[in-house]
């Protein structure tokens, strides 16, 4: 194994008396390909800042091998002190570095080196900071959300660039595909602790679920042991004659251990408020065209979107994705062509701009408009309860929006959008700044949503999981619709999935494939037994969960053991068996669901 270039050992850090990191270790060796994963607010970015030497931990040690060069890309770069983009990027070069590489990176990222920094957008500033970090070819390259504000073409270019670099990589990203393609080790930050997996992100989620299940099982065993010890203290024969102080101290230790065994952070509870079903036809467009200042954004585009469709819209930044959505939803008039909207449409739009919210507005007021109740359809719900569904703490109710993190603002925008009744969801970059668990829940919400979804996203994995068809820019204002997700689109274009990235071929116009035929064929391949199990397992799992809850309540009765020790033992045995049956059923359902998805994807 290569010697370590950077080591963090037993790192502790607290903010305002609240522990954030408690004994975190991090080692980066030559050629490392490591990703940091964890919930928003778990401390991932803080660890990178400590590793980069930007902040100091309360306790622990940091060692950087002498002579090692390290570059760090923050989420919010500071561009002060330079006039032009080129001056800012080249200022990060050390003596002996190739100055031409800075020019090459700027061109690849679509930036003009002579452009004034003061006039850059947020996305352009991020790309300039990325070029500055990559230009010196450092020994260690630490990137915090490098794909933010990059389009799909730029993301795939960045993947290829990082895959070819000799620098050790430490990455934070919510882009699954990006992490799967680049990483060979994973550091999971959870409840102040760090656990390392000697595999890339592709194997992380199955490993994480196994660890959480083992933790929950350990907590359950500890709870049962405490109950048994408490019964002995209250009703044991020896305890009535004289107290066994050794056993009493053991009980106290168990209780202290249980108090210290923190549970995993909760998950958001996303649910869209759905209105009455729309008509079967949602949007029909014929021959749409739109231009700005002689620049063609859309030309000759036609489509038909029906109820229940999930349409992904992809293309480079500036191609006109948002314009196309506005044309399709009738909020922008076309220069040519026509759009016909279906009947009974209730449309809700999630704008990609987090800046549309006033930074001085509090979280509570942003959800309620100034009251204490969130209106969800025709009913009201107290704002604190609704906040908890989206992982906000009660004490954050009066927090100004300007003090929320990017992920928290993303969850706030979702909370606002999903409270309104809809049967047509228009989501413009909904995945920005969301952690992986919330992305999973958003995906599940869209899968259960009975209405229609229009989705703009640069997240290839998310599009693959959600979209039933993709409308892609093919250049010069032309847009082509493909059946399936992003990977299906690449296959229909005859392109390689991994590493190459899409190349726009202006001469190529692949025919639109109809999704119905392959899907019908896929269903036929699923055996009757598997199909029946896939249909009935959810009800079985729900029944087992109800039984487990009932058994736990029964065992929590302090008089149960005294009344009937045999029944107490039998109930405990049945609880163990029910938990085993539930775990087996969940594994079976997951295997079948993955099999079904594999068949449906061809």
Decide if 303 contacts 452 (C-beta within 8 A). Answer: no
Q: Residues 88-111: what's their mean pLDDT?
A: 90
Q: What is the DSSP string of 143-197?
A: EESTTTT--HHHHHHHHHHHHH--SEEEEE-S-HHHHHHH-SEEEEEETTEEEEE
Decide if 189 contacts 37 (C-beta within 8 A). Answer: yes
Same CATH fold assignment for domains 281-515 and 516-602: no
N-terminal to C-terminal alpha carbon distance within the chain: 41
Which range, of 62-76, 276-290, 361-375, averages the lowest pLDDT? Answer: 361-375
Question: Which one, of 54, 124, 144, 133, lies nearest residue 97 by Cα?
Answer: 133
Structure tokens, 67: 């002579």
Q: Decide if pLDDT at 230 tops 90.
A: no
Question: Which one, of 305, 299, 311, lies nearest residue 337 by Cα?
Answer: 299
> Which distant-in-sequence residues (6+ apart) come within 8 Å of 354 by Cβ?
406, 409, 410, 413, 432, 433
Q: Decide if pLDDT at 313 tops 50.
A: yes
Decide if 315 contacts 481 (C-beta within 8 A). Answer: no
Structure tokens, 77: 């770069």
CA distance 411 to 391: 8
Decide if 430 contacts 455 (C-beta within 8 A). Answer: yes
**How much is the mean pLDDT over the chain?**
82
Q: Decide if pLDDT at 481 tops 70.
A: yes
Q: What is the DSSP string of 294-320?
A: TEEEEEEEEEEEETT-EEEEE--TTS-
Q: Where are the domains of the chain?
A: 4-206, 213-265, 281-515, 516-602
pLDDT band at 240, cuts 50/70/90? very low
Give the pLDDT confidence score for residue 165 in this predicted structure: 94
pLDDT tens string 537-560: 888 888 888 898 888 888 877 778
Q: Residues 364-385: what's their mean pLDDT?
A: 83
CATH superfamily of 281-515: P-loop containing nucleotide triphosphate hydrolases (3.40.50.300)
Give the pLDDT confidence score for residue 52 in this predicted structure: 95
Which range, of 111-115, 145-149, 510-514, averages the lowest pLDDT? Answer: 510-514
pLDDT band at 351, cuts 50/70/90? low
Give the pLDDT confidence score for residue 76 in this predicted structure: 83
Give the pLDDT confidence score for residue 86 in this predicted structure: 93
Q: Decide if pLDDT at 254 tops 70.
A: no
CA distance 519 to 484: 10
pLDDT band at 301, cuts 50/70/90? very high
Q: Residues 330-347: what's their mean pLDDT?
A: 93
CA distance 477 to 387: 42
CA distance 464 to 457: 11
Query: In terms of pLDDT, which residue wins out, 297 or 260?
Result: 297
Decide if 112 contacts 89 (C-beta within 8 A). Answer: no
Give the pLDDT confidence score for residue 238 in this predicted structure: 46
**β-pair type (469-475, 452-456):** unpaired
CA distance 139 to 483: 43
Query: In terms of pLDDT, which residue wins out, 592 or 202?
Result: 202
Point out which residues pair with 379 in neighbouring strands.
Answer: 376
CATH second-level architecture of 516-602?
A: Orthogonal Bundle (1.10)
Which of helix, strand or coil describes residue 29?
strand
pTM of the predicted structure, to 2 decimals: 0.68
CA distance 275 to 582: 34
pLDDT band at 526, cuts 50/70/90? low
Query: In terms of pLDDT, which residue wins out, 326 or 493?
Result: 326
Which range, of 314-328, 437-451, 485-499, 536-550, averages the lowest pLDDT? Answer: 485-499
Give the pLDDT confidence score for residue 554 in this predicted structure: 85
Q: Residues 155-175: what's their mean pLDDT?
A: 94
Q: Decide if pLDDT at 237 tops 50.
A: no
Give the pLDDT confidence score for residue 506 in this predicted structure: 34
Q: Residues 336-360: what's their mean pLDDT?
A: 81
Which of helix, strand or coil describes residue 485?
coil
Q: Decide if pLDDT at 260 tops 70.
A: no
Is domain 4-206 in CATH 3.40.1710.10, yes or no? no
Q: Residues 42-60: what's their mean pLDDT?
A: 93
Alpha-carbon radius of gyration of the chain: 27
Q: Decide if pLDDT at 329 tops 90.
A: yes
> Which distant-in-sequence residues (6+ apart) come within 8 Å of 416 by Cβ?
366, 367
Give the pLDDT confidence score for residue 582 in this predicted structure: 85
């Amino acid at each position: 194994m290569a010697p370590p270039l950077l080591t963090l050992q037993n790192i502790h850090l607290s903010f305002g008396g609240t522990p954030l990191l408690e004994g975190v270790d991090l080692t980066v060796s030559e050629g490392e390909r490591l990703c940091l994963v964890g919930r928003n607010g778990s401390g991932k970015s803080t660890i990178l800042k400590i590793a980069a030497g930007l902040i100091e931990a309360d306790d622990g040690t940091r060692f950087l091998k002498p002579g090692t060069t390290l570059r760090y890309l923050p989420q919010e770069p500071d561009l002060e002190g330079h006039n032009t983009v080129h001056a800012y990027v080249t200022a990060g070069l050390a003596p002996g570095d190739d100055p031409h590489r800075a020019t090459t990176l700027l061109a690849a990222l679509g930036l003009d080196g002579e452009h004034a920094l003061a006039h850059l957008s947020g996305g352009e500033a991020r790309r300039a900071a990325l070029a500055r970090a990559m230009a010196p070819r450092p020994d260690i390259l630490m990137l915090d959300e490098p794909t933010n504000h990059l389009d799909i073409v730029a993301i795939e270019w960045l993947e290829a660039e990082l895959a070819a670099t000799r620098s050790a990589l430490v990455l934070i990203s919510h882009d699954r595909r990006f992490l799967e393609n680049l990483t060979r080790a994973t550091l999971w930050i959870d409840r102040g602790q760090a656990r390392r997996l000697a595999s890339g992100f592709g194997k992380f989620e199955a490993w994480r679920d196994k660890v959480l299940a083992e933790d929950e099982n350990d907590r359950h065993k500890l709870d049962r042991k405490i109950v048994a010890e408490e019964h002995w203290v209250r009703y044991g024969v020896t305890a009535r004659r004289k107290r066994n102080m050794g056993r009493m101290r053991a009980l106290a230790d168990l209780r202290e251990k249980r108090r210290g065994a923190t549970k995993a952070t909760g998950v958001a509870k996303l649910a869209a408020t759905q209105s009455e079903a729309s008509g079967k036809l949602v949007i029909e467009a014929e021959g749409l065209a739109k231009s700005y200042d002689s620049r063609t954004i859309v030309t000759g585009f036609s489509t038909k979107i029906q109820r229940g469709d999930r349409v992904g819209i992809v293309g480079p930044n500036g191609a006109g994705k948002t314009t196309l959505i506005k044309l399709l939803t009738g909020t922008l008039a076309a220069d040519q062509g026509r759009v016909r909207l279906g009947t009974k449409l209730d449309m809700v739009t999630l704008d990609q701009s987090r800046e549309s919210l006033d930074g001085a507005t509090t979280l509570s007021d942003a959800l309620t408009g100034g009251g204490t109740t969130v209106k969800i359809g025709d009913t009201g719900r107290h704002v604190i309860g609704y906040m908890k569904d989206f992982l906000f703490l009660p004490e954050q109710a009066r927090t100004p929006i300007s003090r929320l993190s990017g992920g928290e603002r993303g969850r706030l925008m979702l909370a606002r959008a999903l409270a309104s009744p809809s049967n047509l969801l228009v989501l413009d970059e909904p995945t920005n700044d969301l952690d992986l668990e919330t992305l999973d829940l958003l995906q599940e919400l869209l899968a259960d949503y009975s209405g229609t979804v229009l989705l703009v996203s640069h997240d290839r994995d998310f599009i693959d999981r959600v979209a039933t068809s993709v409308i892609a820019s093919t250049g010069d204002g032309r847009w082509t619709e493909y059946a399936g997700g992003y990977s299906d689109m690449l296959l229909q274009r005859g392109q390689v999935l991994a590493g190459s990235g899409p190349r726009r071929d202006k001469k190529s116009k692949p025919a639109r494939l109809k999704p119905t035929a392959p899907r019908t064929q896929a269903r036929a391949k699923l055996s009757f037994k598997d199909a029946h199990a896939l249909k009935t397992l959810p009800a079985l799992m729900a029944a087992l969960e109800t039984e487990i809850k009932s058994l736990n309540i029964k065992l929590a009765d302090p008089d149960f053991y005294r009344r009937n020790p045999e029944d107490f033992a039998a109930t405990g045995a049945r609880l163990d068996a029910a938990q085993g049956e539930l775990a087996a059923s969940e594994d079976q359902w997951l295997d079948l669901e993955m099999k079904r998805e594999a068949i449906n994807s061809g």
